[in-house]
Structures are given as structure tokens and as C-alpha cells.
Amino acid sequence: MEQRVIPGTDLRVSLLGFGNFVFGTNWWGDFTDDDGVQLQNAAVDLGVNFFDTAAAYGNGRAESLLARTIDYAGRDNLVISTKYGYDFYSDPGEAGGHRERRQDFSPAFVRYDLEQSLQRLKIDCVDLYQAHNLKLPQFRDDLFDLMETLKQEGKIRYWGVALGPAIGWREEGYQAFIDHHADVVQTVMNLYEQDPGREFCEIAAKLGRGGVIARVPTNSGILDEEFSSPNHTFPAQDHRKFRDRNWLIFGLKKNDIIRPMAKQLGCSVRQLAMLWLASQPAMVAIEPNLLTVEDVKEFAAACDGRRLDADMLAKLDALYATDFHLGEAAHPCDWKSSVTPTGSIHSAYQTPAIP
């Protein structure tokens, strides 16, 4: 398992990260507590040392399950990340629901939220503390000042922002890295939805500090080859029923195009997707949905230090730049935005302006 140091920190994290959000909802099936812990422990045995959770996942459940794996592996052997900002204490939401719950990024609430996380995780200090789906209007100086204070107090070691819940939030990522010196930006990024994650990678690489964490690396199951038909029917609790249907129709066609390229490399389509991410500058961790031990094994095999060569990267870049020659309908979906009147913006790469 390759490990990477997040630039500007002393955190050495496994390239394959375990995001245990799958235990906070039934979107990916139902896991008993023992099932979840066994899967986390198996990941440790296969070389994963970076675990990324959040207070809001299952309203504390995911953090409590991770505490058992911390006990299994030993605190010093793991890098623990959690997130803050959802006030599920007063707005618990509904099981399996998709509505965003009340957020609170005031210093008083963040301190309270952190103390609850530390108790659930049964640790004294969080290695990486991420603002959970922070939006531009919620950026506040006293919040960033608090992060530095918490570092001085030994409650956290480093901090960052996790952008979401949907893809986008370009301005948030830019400001987090450039203006506020975040240690990480976590974003949706994959072979079929490359930006704005690619821009964040370029910013961090040029600054020489900070790293990018990629989530949804298999394009919500497309690159897992989870679907065989454009007419696939999603269950009521499946969040992907909200995606633009073109995501499925053209995702399958894109898979047909890159499958021979994966075969040429002797890997699966989703391993090719992981290798592409691993080859991006400033990429420090990739978090696919790990639902079985076999998932962990297959993704781990693509996180062993390999990179795609320049020729393969150029071929994939050319395909992406032309929407795989499938037409405008195959273009990645619009992004969410805090700065446009409609709240969304057409997805497109821009060269980052870095002071």
C-alpha cells in the first residue's frame, strides 16, 4: 500500500482511504455494527491507515464504529479524520433521507461538536478535522482562527474542508487553499468528473502545500461497472436516482471506450480509474465505497505505487476534453455554485489564478 505525506504536514496517509460514510446511511445496504467493524479491520490488515469519518454519519454511529477499529489497530498506527458542522443534535434528519440538515459553523458549536467526536472516537486528538460541506457564505474568520487555536490546544493536528454534498463549489476550494491555507480539500473527483478537482490539485501543487482527497472516484458506481443497462431502476433509498439520466446512459458508453485501455494495462475499469487519480499532482488519498473485503483488495491493488505513463494520460485527457466524442449530452453534469444566481454553473476546466 502506497503512503503519501500531505504536503506541509507530517501526516503520512495510505493512498487508499476508508471513508466510513457507508455505515451512516442505508444507501449502500445495511451493515450491522459487527459487519462494519470487521470490514474496517480487514482494511487495516490490507494496509489502509487513513480513516475518514464524520460526526453526522449516522448521527455519531460511524465515529463509534471507528473507535473499535482504532482499538484494534492501535491509535499510533492510524491517521484519523472526522468532520464537523452539521447540528444533528437539534436536527437529526430522517433515516436514509437526502435533505441537508441544519449546519452551524459558529466557534461555540464547533467546539461542542469536536468534544462529542473525541468522546465517540475515544481519542484525545483528531489528526485531520474537516469542515463538512462548508459553503462560501459560511466562511468566517473566527472559524479559521478557531482551527489554529484547536491546534495549539492539541485537540486537532491539521484541518481542511470537505466540499459537497454534490460536485462543484469551485470558489470554496480556491479560497480554502489560497486564502486560508487549508491542509486538505476533499472533493468529488473521478475520471468522468475531473473538475474542479483537477484545478484544486494544480493549486496545491503550485503552492507546495496541501493535498486533495478524492471521493466518489468511481463516478457513483459507473466505473465500478455496477450497471449493465441504461434503463436500470434505482431503489427508493438509492441517492443515484437523483442524478441526470445522461450520467448513466453515457457513462456506460464511456466504459465501453476505456475498457480496452484497462485490459491493455491488465486491470479492471475501476482500477484504471484509481490509477488515473493516483497520477494526479497533490492527490493524497482516494476514498471509494468499500463494501466488501474484495472491494478493499481490488482497490488496494491499484494503490501500490504505480502511475499511468504519459501516453496513457494523454489519451485519457484527449477523450475527456472531447466528451469521449459522444456529444454535448455526454458532458459532465452542472456543478453547484455559491456565486451564481441559479446556484449552479456549467462544468468546465479553468486555469487557476494563483497569486
259 with 271: CB under 8 angstroms?
no
Q: How many beta carbons lie within 10 A of that of residue 137, not counting itself?
A: 8
How far CA 153 is from CA of 10, 55, 148, 156, in Å, comes to 18, 20, 9, 8
Strand partners, 128: 81, 158
Farthest CA pair distance, the chain: 54
Q: What is the DSSP string of 189-251?
A: -BTTB-TTHHHHHHHHHHHT--EEEEESTTTTTTTTT----TTPPPPTT-GGGGS-HHHHHHH
pTM: 0.96
Set out the domains of the chain in order of their start, with CATH numbers. Answer: 3-345 (3.20.20.100)
The pLDDT value recorded for residue 338 is 96
| Residue whose C-alpha is closest to residue 201's, from 180, 215, 191, 186 | 186
Question: Exposed (0-12), middle (13-18) or buried (19+): which is 209, by Cβ within 10 Å?
Answer: middle
| Residue whose C-alpha is closest to residue 144's, from 116, 166, 172 | 172
| Residue whose C-alpha is closest to residue 49's, from 115, 161, 125, 127 | 127
What distance lies between CA 128 and its chain's CA centroid? 14
Per-residue pLDDT of the chain (355 residues; tens, 9 = 90+): 999 999 999 999 999 999 999 888 767 778 899 999 999 999 999 999 999 999 999 999 999 999 999 999 999 999 999 999 999 888 777 765 666 788 999 999 999 999 999 999 999 999 999 999 999 999 999 999 999 999 999 999 999 999 999 999 999 999 999 999 999 999 999 999 999 999 999 999 999 999 999 999 999 999 999 999 999 999 888 888 888 999 999 999 999 999 999 999 999 999 999 999 999 999 999 999 999 999 999 999 999 999 999 999 999 999 999 999 999 999 999 999 999 999 999 999 999 988 8
In what helix (H) or strand (E) does residue 82 lie, and over which residues does it extend?
strand 79-84
Q: What angle do CA 218, 223, 229 make, to 5 degrees?
A: 130
The pLDDT value recorded for residue 312 is 98
The pLDDT value recorded for residue 149 is 98
Residue 299 contacts by C-beta under 8 Å, 6 or more apart in sequence?
Answer: 16, 270, 271, 274, 286, 288, 290
